[in-house]
Chain A
Amino acid sequence: MSEVEMAVIKPEMMKSYIWLQTADGAIQQVEQEVAMFCPLICHEVIHKGMGSSKNYAISLPQRVNPAMLSLILDYCRFHQVPGRSNKERKSFDEKFIRMDTKRLCELTSAADSLQLKPLVDLTSRALARIIEGKSPEEIREIFHLPDDLTEVSGACGNCVCLASQFPYVYNFNIDYILQEEKLEPLKNTTDDPRIRLLNRLYAKKRKELKEREKLKNVEVEEERVDERSVDDLLSFINGKERDSKVIKSSKNKKKHRRKKDQPKNTCSNEATKTHKQESNGLNLVCLSAEVGYKFRPDLGESSNVQNVEDDIFVRKVDFEDVDVDDEIDPALKEKIDREVEDFARRLNSDWPERMQEILSLGQDMRPLHHSINGNGTITKYAK
């Protein structure tokens, strides 16, 4: 070889590489100074002598897939250079974290498994900024979380034990309970809007049961044994009330008969998504988004519970006037149910916190200490 060629080859030969293997089996080599920026890799090299050749490639934790490794190495490659100014680093970081939320999560996880704290902090802060100020519903959307909350309020016989008075809540089957019980209206001495609505619920259920008797030969939706809570149904009713307001000029296949002509609900400014498959133009998402917006647990004001609920619930529709529409499109009904369940869970989960607020401020609430267990037995609850 000529001298020139030797001069070109030498720097390359002197450069060291570390061999890394990701969980999928793929092996790659990375410049030493870049890889050593990761504490985990550093530890493997120094204390275990790994990474010096293909056969001794360092096995990376499962959370580090090739895509994440590539990102992490980009980060390391930039930051391991000592001469950079703080301004440069900050600028790089700001551009670096511009990625979708899913990748941010994966990156946080991968960086955490490699113990690369500066990157974990960077991505964690970015995720914290995304979370700040959002309602639980919005957060569920962003992170694609399933609605798997099965905690619902407990109810017993003719007493309503409002979840806000309990630190814990139980599953139960309200359809079962309502059918077993007499569905008599509850005494509402405190004019609690929830009790008001529960009474309406009972009235509705009574009516529904009567109608089922009549329409046995008509194909109606199967009576599902479901986990819906008091509040699901309360919200369902409320959803129905709102629905009837929204569906004013809708292009329905099936016409919804209404006795009252309700004004169109202008809630589109609150909606976070507007995709719709039904042709009826009903903006259910708007309902939940609006409700989600209104239901931020307000740490400072315990009275907010009642006020906010009043905003949403107090539409004094005489329940007997609302049409129970026999022809509800099952797909639409399912959509309503989903939104309603989500709404109810939000309510239920906020209550422990709200209750803490209320209790701490010394308000005198009288909890009714009964609850129904899943199998229908009643448990007396000592607080």
Chain B
Amino acid sequence: MDITSVLPTECLSHIISLTSPRDACRLLAVSPAIRSAANSESVWKKFLPSDYREILSDSVSSSSLLTSLSKKELYFHLCHNPVLINNGTMSFAPEKESGKKIYMIGARGLSISLGDEPANWIWISLPESRFPEVAELKLVWWFEVKGRIETKILSSKTTYAAYLVFKFAESRHGFGRRPVTLGVYIEGSDNQERRRPVLDPPANMQSLAQDRADGWVEIEMGEFFNENGDDGTLVCSVFDFSSGYTKRGIIIQGIELRPNAKNSR
């Protein structure tokens, strides 16, 4: 007696939808009957974020995806190809392991002090960026970048980590020795927790910044546990000011929020 003769496919699919995307993929290798249950639309619809249709409808390019791809194909497509939403100022993708939401606020969606002053920041297009424009620092003394995101769009019961996604131009200055101040907090109730890493340390010092698969570098800014999404606006900030040092040469793609590795499913 085997499970597939006892349980109808809908029951199997229901059980599989209670596992994880990774488990569902493993199940594809078990037997043909289990494979077809694991491939079913209901399973992958459950793994996609519940409001995926809403999110995708905000993206001009993605409406065709909804009709042409199966839910499973859509899931993996989105994991590898984040969609641009909010007028191209944000990107969205599900996290492959869990289906939880990953958002990146693009540079155009951030509040950058003096960002509109061409003497201080310029806006350029880079092929390796998912956004049409990224911000490159020409010269400032006051370096401040803030990203704001509504907690209600984040996945609930999830610990998120915020990452500054950036890289350095050939010629840069002001990030080699001086640390920047990173913070993640709820607007209106600042927890005052800050981190102070050096973004561009010399070769003999260990850097806290990590390389990303997309060719950019990221550094963790802080964490936030999203219970139900009713905490209001989350602020992620980078800041440094020194009258003695100017800064130049950092290129910012955006700030990414994704579930951190410590999450239990």
A352 to B29 alpha-carbon distance, docked (Å): 10
Judging by beta carbons under 8 Å apart, are B96 and A360 in contact? Answer: no
Considering the complex, give the chain B residue whose CB is closest to the CB of A345: B29
* Binary per-residue interface labels of chain B (6-24) against chain A in the complex, 1 for a CB within 8 Å, 0 otherwise: 1110110011101111110
Judging by beta carbons under 8 Å apart, are A102 and B15 in contact? Answer: no
Considering the complex, give the chain B residue whose CB is closest to the CB of A292: B29
Is residue B203 contacting chain A, with contact meaning CB distance below 8 A?
A: no
A134 to B16 alpha-carbon distance, docked (Å): 13
Interface SS, A side: helix
Interface SS, B side: helix
Assuming A109-B6, A134-B26, is B31 touching A149 (CB within 8 A)? yes
* Binary per-residue interface labels of chain A (104-136) against chain B in the complex, 1 for a CB within 8 Å, 0 otherwise: 011011001000000010001101100111111
Judging by beta carbons under 8 Å apart, are B28 and A352 in contact? Answer: yes
Judging by beta carbons under 8 Å apart, are B26 and A297 in contact? Answer: yes
Q: How far is the CB of B21 from chain A (nearest CB, A)?
A: 7
- In the assembled complex, which residues on chain A have CB atoms less than 8 Å from the CB atom of B7? 105, 108-109, 112
| B window 65-123: CB within 8 A of A | 76-77, 80, 96-97
Q: How far is the CB of A323 from chain B (nearest CB, A)?
A: 33
Q: How far is the CB of A145 from chain B (nearest CB, A)?
A: 5
A127 to B19 alpha-carbon distance, docked (Å): 9
Assuming A109-B8, A349-B35, is B22 touching A299 (CB within 8 A)? yes
Is residue A176 contacting chain B, with contact meaning CB distance below 8 A?
A: no
Judging by beta carbons under 8 Å apart, are B27 and A136 in contact? Answer: yes
A104 to B51 alpha-carbon distance, docked (Å): 32
Is residue B205 contacting chain A, with contact meaning CB distance below 8 A?
A: no
* Binary per-residue interface labels of chain B (211-240) against chain A in the complex, 1 for a CB within 8 Å, 0 otherwise: 000000000000000000000000000000
Q: How far is the CB of B43 from chain A (nearest CB, A)?
A: 11
Judging by beta carbons under 8 Å apart, are A361 and B80 in contact? Answer: yes
Interface footprint category on B = 20 to 34
Q: How far is the CB of B25 from chain A (nearest CB, A)?
A: 5
Is residue A143 contacting chain B, with contact meaning CB distance below 8 A?
A: yes
- In the assembled complex, which residues on chain B have CB atoms less than 8 Å from the CB atom of A149? 31-32
Is residue B128 contacting chain A, with contact meaning CB distance below 8 A?
A: no
Q: How far is the CB of B212 from chain A (nearest CB, A)?
A: 13
Judging by beta carbons under 8 Å apart, are A296 and B11 in contact? Answer: no
- In the assembled complex, which residues on chain A have CB atoms less than 8 Å from the CB atom of B16? 128, 131
* Binary per-residue interface labels of chain A (312-349) against chain B in the complex, 1 for a CB within 8 Å, 0 otherwise: 00000000000000000000000000000000011001
Is residue B57 contacting chain A, with contact meaning CB distance below 8 A?
A: no
- In the assembled complex, which residues on chain A have CB atoms less than 8 Å from the CB atom of B15? 108, 124, 127-128, 131
Judging by beta carbons under 8 Å apart, are B23 and A132 in contact? Answer: yes
A109 to B30 alpha-carbon distance, docked (Å): 20
Judging by beta carbons under 8 Å apart, are A131 and B27 in contact? Answer: yes
- In the assembled complex, which residues on chain A have CB atoms less than 8 Å from the CB atom of B19? 128, 131-132
Judging by beta carbons under 8 Å apart, are A349 and B28 in contact? Answer: yes
- In the assembled complex, which residues on chain A have CB atoms less than 8 Å from the CB atom of B22? 296-297, 299
Judging by beta carbons under 8 Å apart, are B26 and A105 in contact? Answer: no
Judging by beta carbons under 8 Å apart, are A299 and B97 in contact? Answer: yes
A-B pairs, top 6 by smallest CB distance, nearest first, are: A128-B18, A349-B29, A136-B29, A143-B3, A360-B80, A136-B30
Given contacts A102-B1, A136-B30, A139-B30, 15 further A-B contacts (CB under 8 A): A102-B6, A112-B7, A120-B11, A124-B15, A124-B18, A131-B23, A133-B23, A136-B29, A140-B30, A143-B2, A144-B1, A299-B21, A349-B29, A353-B28, A360-B76
Q: List 26 A-B contacts (CB under 8 A).
A: A105-B7, A109-B6, A112-B8, A112-B11, A120-B14, A125-B18, A127-B15, A132-B20, A133-B23, A135-B26, A136-B26, A136-B30, A139-B27, A139-B34, A143-B3, A145-B2, A145-B3, A149-B32, A299-B22, A299-B25, A299-B97, A300-B96, A349-B35, A353-B28, A360-B77, A361-B80
Q: Which residues of A come within 8 Å of B, CB atoms?
A: 102, 105-106, 108-109, 112, 120, 124-125, 127-128, 131-136, 139-140, 143-146, 148-149, 151, 296-297, 299-300, 345-346, 349-350, 352-353, 356, 360-361
